[in-house]
Homo-oligomer: A and B are copies of this chain.
Amino acid sequence: MFHPATADLSLPSVMHALSDPVRLAIVAQLAAAGSDPCGDVDVDLHKSTISHHYRVLREAGVTVTTVEGRTRIVRLRREDLDTRFPGLLDAVLRAVQN
């Protein structure tokens, strides 16, 4: 599974990943929960659509997916995002919650 290195995180890609209501909901849920089994997000969409959204988030470097046993676990790359784009994720999460 592709994950960009922290130094390769691109602002346009991260902004694009965070420009969709479903992906914003996933990110807000991950921020609240710490981690989630992939696909466990509480939205009423087809599984392949949800997978697409997880892939966009992962490939932009917003999330990291690890395989633990038979489950994929998704986490926010908080530290990496804060390192590259200080304050951005916090501002987005605040905005989602409003």
Contacts and interface: CB of A to CB of B under 8 A. Distances in A.
A90 to B, nearest CB: 7
A91 B95 contact: no
Contact of A88 (B13, B16, B95): B95
A18 interface: yes
A86 B94 contact: yes
- If over half of A's interface residues share one DSSP class (helix, strand or loop), that class is named, otherwise mixed; here it is helix
Interface string A1-26: 00000000001110110111100100
Interface string A44-86: 0000000000000000000000000000000000000000111
A60 to B, nearest CB: 10
What 7 pairs between A and B have smallest CB-CB spacing?
A15-B19, A87-B91, A16-B19, A88-B91, A85-B95, A91-B91, A11-B95
